[in-house]
Amino acid sequence: MALGQFLTAINMPNYFQSDDRSKFFLILLLQAAFLVLFIVFRLMDADEGIYLNAANLVTEGLLPYHDFFSNQMPYISYLYAPISGFGMNSLYAGRVISVLFSLIMSLVLYLTVRRISDNSIYALITVFLFGLNGLTLTWQSTIKTSVVSDFFGFLGFVLFLQFLTGDSRKKNSLLIFGAGFLIGLAFNFRLTHLIFLPVLLGVMFYLCEFGIKLKIKYGLYFLLGSIIASTGAIILFFIEPYTFFFDNLIFRQVWGANVVESNLIGKLFTYAKFALYPQNLPLIILSLFGVGMIWRKRDRFSFSALDRSALAAFSIASALTLLYLYVTPTQFQYYGQTLPYLILASIPGFEMAAKKLKNRKIAIAASLVYLLSIAPFIRIFIFAPRAQDAGFKLSNISNAVEVIKQETTTDEKILSFYPHFGIYADREQELGFEVWGINTLAQLSEADRKITNLIGGEQLLELIYSKKFRLVVSESGRFREADDALKRNYRIIGSFGAIKIYKSSH
């Protein structure tokens, strides 16, 4: 069935009847081409191995939090479980899934802007800005919780906008329930999306003209949808309530403080890198300018569909920004989750700027600058010039995996500081290394150390000295005592950046 026929079938206006169809698919094709480039050549992110390992463990019947450590909400393990047992191909398959999510988001963004603004040019620009942003290309081509939570969170937000700007009372209950359900799925992949619930409830109570009783009714539908979507997580919570809470919140905060700068000045500096980047700064300025223009109208019940959508989007972007300024760790790429909302919030400001700057040359120059701003991401994540990234180059990982396969049998267990080597080499590995937790465990109480199911420093040294593993995969510099113990009891048979493969000398 053609796309136009499909849209008609689901009662949505066909926004692909105009000449803009070819322009939209050209942008989408360009986004897809860049994403494929990153699928094939991008550095591996350490989290990709962590999530694939967790996915593989659930296929063996183990439960997150109860049987193994998991520092993310549980649904990510189950999403990738079907593709977790295919060695290095699991990495590429998972990345393809992420890319599909990203491309669907671009399509939904286009349709949403067409609906709320009825302007095909603005819709094309928003897809260009989202799909060809360096953060989108670099991180939505990886196996990350943010990719899936962004996808479901944005779909839920779009349903919320239809509820907020529509005029059909009959559909409202279903729309707000569906929005809550999708957002519930989102925060069960990444907990930060839980912030959507109070923010969007606040937007609904402020902008909707319904009476208070009807607002409460719709609010309950919204929350009910998110609760139903959380059923699986709720079950896991009741199996191990404290561990569920500890792994997702307490451990992550303590662990994060060892990863990046955790004080406010450091976090503000990280955000400044995002905000001042050439692709992002215009969006922030235009969104602030546009929201300012909307507030001048004063009568909130006279806001247009675009006004309401921009305010809701700005609220989400602001909430995510403030949240990431609070939580630890705070990293540059986290703010990429605000992009679709910043883009939507910037449309009124862009509309005003476009009326005053009717200059085709300026538009072309701005587009070229935007595209050229992708280059630093390609340099860092594909060409990988930084020494710290050598161990995550796909070529080095593939070579290390080949060494592991050659030196061990399929039924032999290995000891690996990183879980991805066991996954990619299709070898069983010692539990307790679902994440590198030794530095963090040292800061916890004895009781909390036990519930993490992670290997501590003393336990690791015991495993090394016991020589029960013929092969050990380590990262030099991670734990000095382990480096010394390995040198005494094993010999290096492979070195790939900081990654060292040791073989027992006995």
248 shares a domain with 126: yes
Asked if residues 69 and 383 have their Cβ atoms less than 8 Å apart, the reply is no
Q: Is the separation of the CB atoms in 267 and 261 below 8 Å?
A: yes
Alpha-carbon distance values, 144 to 26, 48, 209, 248, 465 (Å): 27, 6, 39, 15, 35
Q: What is the pLDDT of residue 6?
A: 45
The candidate with the shortest Cα–Cα distance to 410, out of 428, 433, 431, is 428
**Shared domain check, 498 and 421:** yes
Residue 54: inside a domain: no
Does 100 share its domain with 228? yes
Strand order in the sheet with 490-496: 415-416, 471-475, 499-504, 490-496
Average pLDDT of 269-289?
94
Q: Answer yes or no: is pLDDT of 11 > 70.
A: no
pLDDT at 330 over 80: no
Last residue of a domain, one of 338, 359, 383: 383
% the chain with pLDDT above 70:
93
Of the listed ranges 221-230, 400-409, 438-447, 490-499, the one predicted with least confidence? 438-447
The rounded mean pLDDT for the chain is 89
Give the separation between CA 68 and CA 77, rounded to whole angstroms.
12
Parent domain of 232 = 3-41+86-383
Last residue of a domain, one of 345, 364, 383: 383
More confident residue, 454 or 308: 308
Same domain for 446 and 466? yes
Question: Is the bond preceding 282 in cis, omega lying within 30 degrees of 0?
Answer: no
Residues 360 and 407 in one domain: no
Per mean pLDDT, which of 75-84, 206-215, 323-332, 443-452 is the most reliable? 75-84
- Assess whether pLDDT exceeds 80 at residue 146: yes
Task: Tell me the whole-structure pTM to 2 decimals.
Answer: 0.92
Do 423 and 309 reside in the same domain of the chain?
A: no
Residue 355 has pLDDT above 80, yes or no: no
Are residues 433 and 477 both part of a single domain? yes
Q: Is the pLDDT of residue 436 over 80?
A: no
pLDDT for position 134 = 96
Length of the chain, please? 506
Q: Number of folded domains in the chain?
A: 2
Do residue 338 and residue 409 come from a single domain? Answer: no
Residue 421 lies in a domain: yes
Write down which residue in 383, 403, 431 finishes a domain: 383
- What local confidence, expressed as pLDDT, does residue 390 receive? 86
pLDDT of res. 296? 86
